[in-house]
Amino acid sequence: MTDAFASSATSRIRALEATLGPSEGAVARAILAHHPEVPQWSTQELAVVAGTSTATVIRAAQRLGFRGFQHLRLELAREGSPQGTTALQGGDHIDELFASASAALDVSRQAIDRATLAAAAAALADARRVVFAANGFSAPPLQDAAMRFATIGRPVEAPLDILAQQFATHTLGPGDVCLALSHSGANAHTLAACRAAAQRGARVIALCSFARTPLSDIADLTISTGASGPQHTVDPFFIRLGHSVLLQALVAELAQRSSPAQQLEMREVVADALTDVPVPTRR
């Protein structure tokens, strides 16, 4: 992808619109007319607006130089997000970073649906088994959350390996839960793990930046943190902060359902790890 393409997806669509056939051209025109909204749309929603099929939407995206609709959607979201913030009066880049983080967290706070969050916490609390699935930049915050879930007495399985995630979800069944974290909601490996869980009767909980994604089509419950705010050129770091806080919100909801004795026992584990080791006396 060229720098010009990376900085302006809409410019590329305008330039190539005339090269498309009637149906694909209708998709391009619909994208240009609604490009601020398209990052939140599913393939089906864009197809309805363009008066065509989902297959045509995907084909049009590829003809426009994207890998598919999800890639196009992410590029439009990146283009529509501020690439930075103005430094505070007398501030510097550190102030800018903290201001960006604060703004991104505020977007997430407003985007999260409290009722869905409570329903997800209830499903996690009642589940026989819980398997976490995430890849790439989404994996570290979910690994961190796995440890925090354990501290409140909710053990989870959080394999890092892509195949290990799929092996685990293939063994789930009714009464189990697969919780998946994905910024785009379109990671192929995460989708494969979640499809396996859903096909075997397990509930799927999706945590995404976008409300409508391929992952949300699979999930029983989807919690979106929103996708506004400054984004890194490779990974939308500030949006990831919203994911981490969302995971902690789930931990807090679950903590209210766990027994005080269980939490005390986990604190003892931490206390034991912090015990000073006697220093050998020199002779």
pLDDT tens figures, 188-222:
999 999 999 999 999 999 999 888 888 999 999 99
The number of CA neighbours under 13 Å toward the Cβ of 170 is: 7
Residue carrying structure tokens 């409570």: 118
What is the phi/psi pair of residue 257, to 5°?
A: -100, -10
Helix and strand totals (H; E) in the chain:
14, 4
Residue 8 has pLDDT above 50, yes or no: yes
Phi, psi of 142 (to 5 degrees): -75, -35
Task: Indicate the DSSP class of residue 207.
Answer: E
Distance CA(269)–CA(151), nearest Å, equals 9
Residue 8's nearest CA partner among 66, 95, 78 is 78
- Outline which parts of the chain fall under CATH 1.10.10.10: 3-80
Convert the pLDDT of each residue in 177-192 to its tens digit: 999 999 888 899 999 9
Domain 3-80, CATH among 3.20.20.70, 1.25.40.10, 1.10.10.60, 1.10.10.10: 1.10.10.10
Of 160, 220, 216, 209, the residue nearest 191 (C-alpha): 216
- If one counts every other C-beta atom within 10 angstroms of the C-beta of residue 109, the result is 14
d(CA 121, CA 24): 42
The structure tokens listed for 39 are 């990052």
pLDDT score at 170: 98
User: What share of the chain has pLDDT > 90, as a percent?
Assistant: 51
How far apart are the C-alpha atoms of 220 and 35, rounded to whole Å?
Answer: 28
Do the Cβ atoms of 213 and 206 come closer than 8 Å? Answer: yes
The string of pLDDT tens digits covering residues 122-177 is 999 999 999 999 999 999 999 999 999 988 889 999 999 999 999 999 999 999 99
The position carrying tokens 């770091």 is 237
Q: What is the number of other CB atoms lying within 10 angstroms of the CB of residue 46?
A: 25
pLDDT digits (tens, 9 = 90+) for 62-115: 999 888 888 888 888 777 654 444 444 556 788 878 887 888 888 888 889 999
On whether the pTM is more than 0.85, the answer is no
What is the C-alpha separation between 151 and 268, in angstroms, rounded? 10
Contacts of 68 (CB under 8 A, 6+ apart): 58, 61, 62
Q: Coil, helix or strand for 205? A: strand
User: In Å, how far are 44, 52, 83, 148, 193 from 190, measured between CA atoms?
Assistant: 21, 29, 28, 21, 5
pLDDT in tens, 29-63: 999 999 888 887 888 889 999 999 989 999 999 99
Domain at 99-270, CATH from 3.40.50.10490, 3.40.50.970, 3.30.70.1170, 3.30.930.10: 3.40.50.10490
**All CATH 3.40.50.10490 domain ranges in the chain, comma separated:** 99-270
* pLDDT, averaged across the chain: 85
191 φ/ψ sector (left φ>0, alpha ψ -120 to 50, else beta)? alpha
Which among 253, 249, 7 has a CA at the least distance from the CA of 105? 249
